[in-house]
Structure 1
Amino acid sequence: LLQASSGKSTADDPFQGVHAVLVIVGDISEENPYQKSTALQQWLLGYEFTDTLILILQDKIHFVVKEKRADVLEKLKQGGQVQIEIHKRTKDASHNQKIFESIISKITEGEKKRIGLLLKEKISGKFVDEWKAVYNKHEKDFEEVDIASGIAAALAVKDEDELKTMRTASKISISMMNRFIYLVTSMIDEEKEITHEQLAEDVENILYSKEDKWLSSQKSMQDVDFERTDICYAPIIQSGGEYDFRTSAQSNTSLLHEGTILFSLGVRYKSYCSNIGRTILMNPNKDQEKTYEFLLEIQRRILEWIKDGVKICDVYTKATRYIKTKRPDLLDKFVKNLGHGTGMVLNLFIGFTDLENPKATDEKSKIYALWLIDTVRVGGESVQVLTESNRSFNSICFSFKDANESKRPAKAVETKR
């Protein structure tokens, strides 16, 4: 980032030759908690701070923060290779205005400069308003450049500490998914009724409930700081012939159906996210088993094709060609993309939707879907699946009744609130 603020642009420079990088965070955004500004804070500081300005110049980094946070950041000066200057905000508006004026002068130094900003991010709050009141007076002194792609490039390569954090997030996701499988199979075995929405809340409670100590009591969780653990999105549970692969999908109020169940969950640990999704097949037939095994084969090949420098669109093309060769009947059922990347970590999403099951024993089993979602680290010549768990057919296939078994009336499930 310091090298980026040199003012010298090259053809492959994602920072476009800016002289300074300016990143501002105001109030917490509930609508969009995943922004590059907060990701940069996490990358630089290990924490996310509201009401903070960061100015990165070639020879120095400036922070404008509240007094209490300034005391925390003072530790960065100790033994650092980069010069750091910390400006303490107070409740005195005139004092804060002088700080902002000094920040402006450090950028311009008497001449017009190219300044790198995250122009598409929406920021708000009293701190932002105070800054804009000063900045707008000098806006003509700057050439604004959107450096979102530059920030993304800088954050793409994860160091060992970041990878350790992502492994922990993945470990939590795996444990919560295993607990979900236990809950679901128990409910179906006991023929209890529960809605997708209720079950999703129960899964969230595995993490949030102060009474439920199951997760924190696991040996693998002893080093986890649960105060810095959160759900990325409400768990998605789908069954009964209605399946939605869109990112906006939600668990609905329909009852859980004994058939094909899709589940996905995301866990955020110290601002680093993991994602996992599995299909659970209840009493599947041979055709469903064959199709699921083919989905596993597609994932194995995709994991072989993904490498540093390979475009994900090229991997998708290879996958569709393979499907066309081996199972052309599934080509139009395949997902339209393979997920999204967070630097050199990929949220890999594959699946088939709107599959027909002519051997279904009930109406809701006539249409089904399959998906596999994993968090994958991309390396030079290979990849590492961080959410490696419960993927084989035997791991996700369950059978609870034989053909002669009569069905008992369903029991209502008492959910924890």
Structure 2
Amino acid sequence: MAILEALDRTTPVSGSSTVVSPENFIKCLKKFYSHWKEDVYDLWGSSRAIAVATPPHSDDIRYRKSLALSMWFFGRDFADTIMVFLSSQIHFLSGQDGCDLLQHLKMPVSRAVGLDIVLHNIEKADNVSLSIDQVLNSVCAQYESNSVVMGHIAREKPEGKVLEEWYQKLHGSRLKLYDVSGGISELLSVKDASEIMYVKKAAYLTASVMRKYVVPKLENIVMDEKKVPHSKLMDLTEKTILSPTNINVKLKAGNVDICYPPIFQSGGKYDLRPGALINDDDLHYDSGSLIVCAMGAKYSGYCSNVARTFLIDCSMEKCNAYKVLRKAHDAATAALTPGSKASGTGIGIEFRETWLSLNEKNDLTLKEGMVFNVSLGFQNVPAKNSDEKIKEISLWLADTVLICKERPEVLTAFISKGEDDAFYSFDEEKIGSPSSKPAPKTERMVLLKVKPVLKADMMLSLKDNLRSSSWTPKEDLRRQLQSEILCKKTNETAMRIDGTNHNLLEGHGQFRAMGDIVAYKNASDFPRVDRLAIQVDKQNEAILLPIYGFMVPFHVCTVKKAEIRGDKKRSVYVSITFNVPNTVSSLQDSGLQANISFVFLKAVTFFSRDRRHAEEVVKSMKILQKGVLERAKRASLVSQEKLQLHDGLTRDRIQLLDLWIRPALSGLGRKVLGTLVAHVNGFQYTVSKSEKVDITFGNIKHAFFQPAEQDMITLLHFHLYSEIMVGNKKTRDVQFYIEVMDAVDSIGLKRRSAWDPDEIEEEQRERAWRREINRQFELFVRRVGSIWSKPRFNQLALQFETPLQKLGFNEVHGRTTCFIAPSPSCLVQLIDALFLVTSLREVDIVCLERVALGQKSFDMVFVFHDYPRDVVRIEVIPMTDLDKIKDWLNDCSLKYYESKLNLNWRKVLKTMMNDQESETNNRWEFLNPDASDSDSESSETEDDQYEPSDMETGSESDDAGSNNESVVNSGDDGGGSDEDDGGESWDEMERKARDADAEMGSESDSEDERQRRREEAKAKSRRPSEQSSKGSPQKRQRLN
């Protein structure tokens, strides 16, 4: 959540600590009098005057209606002050300091509202009684009635001499009194934009302290087996709240306070009330214990609250109780919509707005802008535990929730309350052994599930334990987690498919539609031709071909390739190939696929005796094609908002100097450096006055910062929503980088020694240079992050992500071996030129292919929610990384399947979209190796097996859409040997064929059919040796 910017409601001036903001006071006065006038009979009891008396200053934390109204009006507490509101006047009885602060409000209020402010200085004891009498006489004289109703707050007992005397004189007067607490509560219940801003800041601070300080502190205490009392945790947490900068929260410490002392409870002693007394007992974290934490922070007087419960190696009964509590809490939160009944208690300047409490007498309806503290808990539930100290347990969850127009917004969602973040477990070295005992206290505690954005260093050991079964093997744990993910995916897929257009070609990037291209609209536009020869009409972008005595026009966009064949000096062949359906290039043309039933001309060859004319024609065609293609690319670009340049001084700019860009600008060498500057709404990379690249913040989908740790470059990478032109290239990925060391170092002319002083000095210079470059990039990233945190860019939700190198793995991408690492929301490869940026939130399932016993590597395929979109295939991943990748996929809540074969995903996805019955079922169950319907699924999988062909070369591309190039050559196994893929003997293949026949129920096949398959298998077993003898590259065998 971005920290919102807002002006304080008090403004510092010379000679005084603070003065009241006239604008805020006038705004509140107008709302107060308007509310009073509209509901004078319902909520204000027909009162003609309203009196509010604030108690003297106190260091204790207290909540009163009078103090809340004072804070709402003035942005601060006006202690020991009496305010009397009349129809034409406002009387203030206050000390000298209060009168000085209110003096400058007289003129603005009189002009804006038409009310006169009358100040009564009660600094001296002689003036108190006289001032009170003057105010009461003014009320009676203004209305000239013996039955004037005076509204006041009846439940607040007077404190101090001034309020006691006021109380006596008020009750001794002839005024009728009416309690207006309900009217004040209703007035303060709906927050305006500035008040919501204060609540959001308070909620962000509360959640940040819980997430960034309390949770790590508890984990360290348990891991290091420290003895820390609850009271000390309370003191440390309170200091952290009062010093927000200690946890990198940029809020003014002077505007921050606590709502109540932070609560820490464990060991069976629980009191689920804000303000509960904290004992000095040590934190109890043995097996089966629960830790309850609650805290609330104020910002500019507005409160927030959050409470969480952490379960340590608890039984299934306790875990189920927590799940029930969480579901009830989520249901109560979801019910907070405009027009429904109150649920929870209101929160704002008062921590507990009793007017909005949930009870049988409260029939108020909710309104947009109200804020609630949704707090639910189970207290003193009898526990079945081996620990005699813990006889009762308690669970507590609380969040601060804002009522919005469509659905409620949980302001404290920054700290999760999910089971993955609340359940902790002890690691056991001997899991599942008969002699296993309850986990001793010396074992280390690990989180069941940690999201990558929170704890990257702990992700390597995730999912080692599960709450429901502490002794289950790892693979069984993964299956249980996968089944939970599958339940969520099933409903999401069905809802998504209902609104999907079942057109396989939708979603492919397209920059032209040949069905709409016309070379000549009318016959009169056809040019006059002197002779039957190939002609190029540059004006109409067409070529004219002589066919059977007629000149037939073709638009240049229909031409796929034109070339000259023949070695003779005079006579040559001109070969022209056209785009036709069911080819790779045609997949980018919706017009071809829409008219697939038409008759297309695929290729034509002409014999020419004039070689010079043939070469000139082919050259003109290629130049024309290039120009049309370039214009079509630029026309397909989405228009971006105009970049607003920074108007400040050069020294105030946020910039990085001497950067290279990828892809490189056209016409410039690699060593031409440029400057990247962050402007008001985007970045601009400048090499010269004529060479610039603009990237707006609104077009950035993902932003990455990768420091030079194990690589030779430090980089910033931007993955965009819409493509932009970089030079003459259309791209969705733009990268800026600096080399921290030379990629190539000549060692032939140097004498190397481990103890050479020059060598040691050179290494030290390289390390210092690396640190300096990383520091400059980190500073740039932080300063840009401060821009993105402004309210203007809140909806973009931009932040720089850093790939997690510890979770990375080697693989083959784009026929090149490279290193891929996950970031909090993507899987990326940013070092090699063929970038890979796969957004995980767009992934539907992941298929792990070629996962079989004896394999040294496997492939991973990402299938997206948009089924017409090409899958992303990552090949030749070492089998040693399989478990790590499975755990990572579970952490990202991605459903994965395993397959022993490579599938033809284009056919699979087309079948999935055309299969109407699978929409309500588990669509991907045919990939499950444990599925019960083995016969039908086996046949379906066999039909959709991976078949290398020309159609597949462009079917699999990365998320960046790198100009429709294939990520890998699907038909090539990277130069693998025949022994690895297809060199099986006849006996082995015959045995596999018999096993396959038995599994698929093929006993009813005829003998001729079995003989035919046997012959085909025998022929395939001979192919590798025949190919190797010819010296041709060996390919992966086609599986039947």
Q: TM-score, normalised by structure 2?
A: 0.34
Q: In structure 2, what is the equivalent of residue 273 of structure 1? A: 303
Give, as a single letter, the amino acid of the residue that structure 1 aligns with 2:50: V
Task: Assess if the C-alpha contact under 8 Å between 2:158 and 2:164 holds in 1.
Answer: no
- Mapped to 2, the partners of 1:120 and 1:129 lie a distance apart of 14
Partner of 1:374: 399
Tell me, what secondary structure is at the counterpart of 2:329?
Answer: helix
Shift of 1:90: 4.9
Q: Deviations over 1:3-35 (max 9, x none)?
A: 56669953xx11010000000113135677200
The one of 72, 90, 94 equivalent to 1:65 is: 94
Letter in 1 for 2:376: I
Decide whether the 8 Å contact of 2:229 with 2:281 is kept in 1. Answer: yes
Pairwise CA distance, 1:77: 3.6
In 1, Cα distance between equivalents of 2:383 and 2:39:
61
Per the TM alignment, residue 183 of structure 1 is displaced from its structure 2 partner at its CA by 1.1
Per-residue Cα deviation, 1:41-92 (whole angstroms, up to 9, x for no partner):
1111111111211111123322222233223223434544222414141544
Deviations 1:149-197 (A, max 9, x none): 1111111111111111111111221122121111111011000112222
**Structure 2 counterpart of 1:392, which letter?**
G
**Cα distance, 1:350 vs structure 2:** 1.2
Q: CA deviation at 1:286?
A: 4.2
**2:199 is aligned with what amino acid?**
M
Deviations 1:298-345 (A, max 9, x none): 2222222222343337x99xxxxxxxxxxxxxxxxxxx989x999922
Aligned to 1:189: 223
Kindly provide the amino acid, as one letter, of the partner of residue 195 in structure 2: E
Give per-residue Cα distances to partners, 1:204-249, cap 9 Å, x unaligned.
23235xxxx6x32444x22x22223222222221112232334563
The structural deviation recorded for 1:282 is: 1.7
Query: Which residue in the other structure is 1:231 paired with?
Result: 258
Q: Conserved in 1, the CA contact under 8 Å of 2:95 and 2:123?
A: no
Tell me, in whole angstroms, the C-alpha distance in 2 between the residues paired with 1:91 and 1:145. Answer: 29
1:46 equivalent to 2:75? Answer yes
1:37 deviation in Å?
Answer: 0.3
Matched letter for residue 116 of structure 1: G
**In terms of mean alpha carbon deviation, does 60-69 or 245-254 score higher?**
245-254
Q: What amino acid maps onto 1:250 in structure 2?
A: L
> Structure 1 length as normaliser, TM-score?
0.79
Q: Which has the higher contact order (CA 8 A, sep 6+)?
A: 1
Question: What letter corresponds to residue 127 of structure 1 in structure 2?
Answer: V
Q: Return the alpha-carbon distance in structure 2 between the equivalents of residues 357 and 140 of structure 1.
A: 59
Q: Which residue of 2 aligns with 1:2?
A: 33
**1:240 counterpart residue number:** 267
Residues 83-109 of structure 1, C-alpha deviation per residue, up to 9 Å, x if partnerless?
Answer: 241414154444444432321122111
The question of 1:303 aligning with 2:336 is answered: no
Contact 1:64–1:88 (Cα < 8 Å) also in 2: yes
Counterpart residue number, 1:107: 139
Q: How does 1:129-208 map to 2 (within 5 A)?
A: 129-132=164-167, 135=170, 139-178=172-211, 179-208=213-242
Cα deviation, residue 403, structure 1: 6.1
Equivalent AA in structure 1 for residue 66 of structure 2: S
Structure 2: gaps of 5 or more residues: 1-31, 346-357, 431-438, 444-1040
Equivalent residues of 1:27, 1:123 under 8 A apart:
no
Residues 54, 202 of structure 1: alpha-carbon distance in 2 compared, 3 angstrom cutoff: same
Moved over 6 A (4+): 340-343
Aligned to 1:328: none
Note the residue ranges of structure 1 that are not aligned, 5 or more in a row: 317-335, 410-417
Could you say if the C-alpha distance between residues 24 and 90 of structure 1 is closer, same or farther in structure 2, counting changes exceeding 3 Å? closer
Q: Secondary structure at the match of 1:252?
A: coil
Report 1:329-408 matches (<5 A). Answer: 344-355=370-381, 358=384, 360=385, 362-364=387-389, 367-388=392-413, 389-402=415-428, 407-408=441-442
Shift of 1:364: 4.2
Question: What is the aligned partner in structure 1 of residue 476 from structure 2?
Answer: none
- Post-superposition Cα deviations, 1:115-173, rounded to whole Å, max 9, x if no partner, equal 0010110121132245456546xx33200111111111111111111111111111221
2-side partners of 1:403 and 1:89: how far apart? 76
Letter in 1 for 2:374: L
* CA 103–402 in structure 1, closer or farther in 2 if over 3 Å, else same: same
Amino acid at match of 1:306: L
Q: Percent identity?
A: 27
Aligned AA for 1:395?
D
Whole-angstrom CA distance in 2 between matches of 1:124 and 1:406: 56
**C-alpha separation in 1, matches of 2:275 and 2:241:** 22
Which residue pairs with 2:62 in the alignment?
33
* Count of residues paired in the alignment: 376
- Compare CA radii of gyration and give the structure with the larger one: 2
> Quick one: distance in 2 between partners of 1:72 and 1:184?
46
Task: Note the C-alpha offset of 1:255.
Answer: 2.1
